[in-house]
Amino acid sequence: MERTPIAIVGCGGMGRRHLTGVTALSHSDFCNVELVAVCDINQKNAEDLADEAKASLGTRPRVFTSIADMVKAMPEIQGADVPTDTGSHHRAAAECLRAGLHVMVEKPLAITLRGCNLLLEIARESKKILSVAENYRRDPINRLARALIDDAAIGTPQLMIETSIGGGNQLFITPWRHQKFTGTVTLDAGVHNADILMYYLGDVETAYGDARLYEKYRYKTTSGGPGGFYAKWADQVPDRIEATGEDAMFGFLHFKNGALGQWIFHHAGHGLPQHSRYVYGSKGSLTSPGDRNGRPLKLHFDGGVEISDERILDYAPSYRLSPLAAQLFGGERVWTYSFPFVEIDAKILATEYHEFAECIQTGKKPEVDGQVGRRDTALVYALFESGKAGRPVTLDEIESVKLDAYQREIDEYLGLVPVPVKS
Ligand SMILES: NC(=O)c1ccc[n+]([C@@H]2O[C@H](COP(=O)([O-])OP(=O)(O)OC[C@H]3O[C@@H](n4cnc5c(N)ncnc54)[C@H](O)[C@@H]3O)[C@@H](O)[C@H]2O)c1
């Protein structure tokens, strides 16, 4: 199978996790990428990731601290996977595109809608692929949920309730996830939920909502982040940080298909944590177990009927995983699975890489392309901008930056819009 030479640009926690995705792909029958370079402005992070790649893949990618040097030294590189921190996507991904590389950038596409639009424009001009590494929807359980909805298992969708409450005053993985100018948690993690909401029910037309910063100070934990991948940087994290970015958002959504949505993302929640996802339709309801845990979905029908075992597949005749996902998860119609988190994560990331290389090789459009990534980012900011405007907003208004009262300060800070001169 043809193997597309790629580089990882951004060798932090997610860069390390992406390497596990390349590794899972390389151990499958469908490997279509070759990791030939790693790049990070922090040389130690890049060197460490190259060492990890040598251990897991058998060959050590070349190490760079600048995208320009990398592209000059290795013109054979075709694609860049860009898991740099959220506030730098619009710069790092833009530099890769301008240097002639296809790009798969981590979610969110960019820190603001102006950043998203900039990347879309550069990708269009350079005629390069712009893919967004949105992983939650690729979980087989979410693929099955989507098939159940499409196959009308619950009838016509009427309401989706997406709730995520918890986090208290603990620092979430890295300090930058609590700062307005670097991509605060509501954007950084909330964009996953935005993608799932629209993956399940299609585009949102209007949103009414608000956002809050509840926890002014955040305190370091001993968790090591998802999968423990961030433990190696733990001594660089202060015991306490002052937060500037909103940590909670609340929204009421109108989907284009007529369904309604209630979305709570409260990452400063104390007391009872809640992570739940329900879709109600004209014939029944669907309960999702959340993402990357492999637990089964549940269908409920009137009269107390619950379907939460293999029979659920009868309600989703169209459900089929891709050949790679089927091999990694143990079948093309998987309804539950059980692996450690780190393995689940790697398998899902492997499917992202595979699709990216396939798009480069065949010209196929990525599932989560720049437009979808922008729409996901817009749904998050719709709640922020609605709160500022005091009215429901359309996603079109957000995508076209007709409303930017919240984001303008970030754009000015990052040079995405000129700073007004004070007289
Ligand atoms: N999909 C998921 O489940 C998931 C999970 C975690 C993180 N992420 C995303 O991955 C991205 C990275 O998050 P993280 O937790 O790894 O951050 P991080 O802070 O651990 O790592 C970011 C790395 O990027 C490097 N970097 C910054 N600017 C660069 C540039 N211009 N060129 C090269 N390297 C550069 C930094 O030096 C650092 O090593 C974020 O956008 C985040 O939202 C996604």
User: Which residue range forms the structural domain that includes residue 9?
Assistant: 4-136+350-368
Does residue 393 fall inside a structural domain? no
Mean pLDDT to the nearest integer, 239-263: 98
Residue of minimum CA distance from atom 5 in ligand 1:
14
Q: Does 152 lie in the same domain as 85? A: no
E strands of 308-420, at which residues?
A: 393-394
What phi, psi does 307 have (nearest 5°)? -120, 110
In a domain, 389, yes or no: no
Judge whether 411 lies within some domain.
no
Contacts of residue 161, Cβ cutoff 8 Å, sequence gap at least 6: 261, 262, 276, 277, 278, 279, 280
Q: For residues 189 and 311, state if they share a domain.
A: yes
Q: What is the pLDDT confidence band of residue 418, given thresholds at 50, 70 and 90?
A: confident
Determine the distance separating the centroid of ligand 1 and the alpha carbon of 418, expressed in angstroms: 26
Say if residue 192 is in the same domain as residue 76: no
Q: Is residue 209 in a domain? A: yes
Ligand 1 pocket test, candidate residues 17, 18, 39, 40, most atoms within 8 A of CB: 40
Question: Does any ligand 1 atom lie closer than 6 A to the CB of residue 9?
Answer: yes
Considering the domain boundaries, does residue 211 fall inside one? yes
Are 155 and 247 within one domain? yes
Ligand 1 site, residue 39, Cβ cutoff 6 A: yes
Answer whether residue 208 shows pLDDT above 90.
yes
pLDDT at 245: 98
Residue 123 shares a structural domain with residue 216:
no
Contacts of 66 (CB under 8 A, 6+ apart): 39, 41
Instruction: Among 11, 14, 356, name the best residue to mutate to test ligand 1's pocket (greatest count of ligand atoms within 8 A of Cβ).
Output: 14
Residue 223's pLDDT band (boundaries 50, 70, 90)? confident
The pTM of this model reads 0.97
* Residue 11 included in any domain: yes
Does residue 194 sit within a domain?
A: yes
> Across the strands, what pairs with 241?
218
User: Do 178 and 131 lie in a common domain?
Assistant: no
Query: Do 161 and 115 fall into the same domain?
Result: no
For residues 91 and 63, membership in a common domain is answered with yes
CATH number, domain of 118, equals 3.40.50.720
Question: Is residue 126 located within the same domain as residue 205?
Answer: no
- For residue range 339-383, list pLDDT tens digits in order: 999 999 999 999 999 999 999 999 999 999 999 999 999 999 999
DSSP letter at 170 equals B
Could you tell me the distance, in angstroms and rounded to a whole number, from the CA of residue 13 to the centre of ligand 1? Answer: 7
For the CA of 11, the closest atom of ligand 1 is 39
Domains contained in the chain, number: 2
Q: Is 40 in the pocket of ligand 1 (CB under 6 A)?
A: yes
Same domain, 304 and 155: yes
Kindly report the backbone phi and psi dihedral angles of residue 386, in degrees, each rounded to the nearest multiple of 5, phi listed first.
-65, -40
Asked if residue 290 and residue 218 are part of one domain, the reply reads yes
Question: In this structure, what CATH number is given to the domain that contains residue 219?
Answer: 3.30.360.10
d(CA 65, CA 263): 40
What is the 394 CA–ligand 1 centroid distance (Å)? 30
pLDDT over 90 at 222, yes or no: no
* Three-state secondary-structure class, residue 205: strand
- Whether ligand 1 lies within 6 angstroms of the CB of 182 is answered as no
Residue 411 CA to ligand 1 center (angstroms) comes to 20
User: Is 385 a domain residue?
Assistant: no
Both 39 and 131 in a single domain? yes
